């Protein structure tokens, strides 16, 4: 799957696309990761493209790059709430790790 479609909303840390019968939510901070697998995301119960991020100790962590929310199960408002959560998470992380 890919995220080609109409952009519905874009934030600092996400892009939301309308693609056929799904809303595709892409995490901008992970968009250049190589997709290693497509599987069900535990948090949202939807299909997701996943890659690996390595920490300072060299341990790999599987992370979701983009999620595919079926329109039959999710309204646009539901997906926008997930996107707002992504924005808030990264804003808080930035404030904690990079104070003024």
Q: Is 20 helix (H, G, I), strand (E, B) or coil?
A: coil
- pLDDT at 82 > cutoff 70: yes
11-46 tens-digit pLDDT: 999 999 999 999 999 999 998 999 999 999 999 999
Residue 87 has pLDDT above 70, yes or no: yes
What does the pLDDT look like over 50-71, one tens digit per residue?
Answer: 999 999 999 999 999 999 999 9
- Which residues have a Cβ under 8 Å from the Cβ of 69 and sit 6 or more positions away? 22, 23, 24, 25, 44, 46, 78, 79, 82
């Amino acid at each position: 799957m890919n995220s080609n479609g109409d952009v519905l909303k874009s934030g600092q840390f996400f892009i939301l696309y309308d693609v056929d019968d799904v809303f595709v939510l892409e995490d901008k901070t992970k968009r250049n990761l190589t997709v290693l697998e497509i599987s069900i995301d535990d948090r949202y119960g939807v299909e997701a493209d996943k890659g690996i991020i390595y920490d300072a100790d060299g341990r790999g962590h599987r992370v979701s790059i983009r999620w595919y929310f079926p329109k039959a199960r999710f309204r646009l408002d539901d997906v926008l709430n997930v996107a707002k959560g992504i924005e808030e998470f990264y804003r808080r992380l930035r404030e904690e790790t990079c104070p003024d």
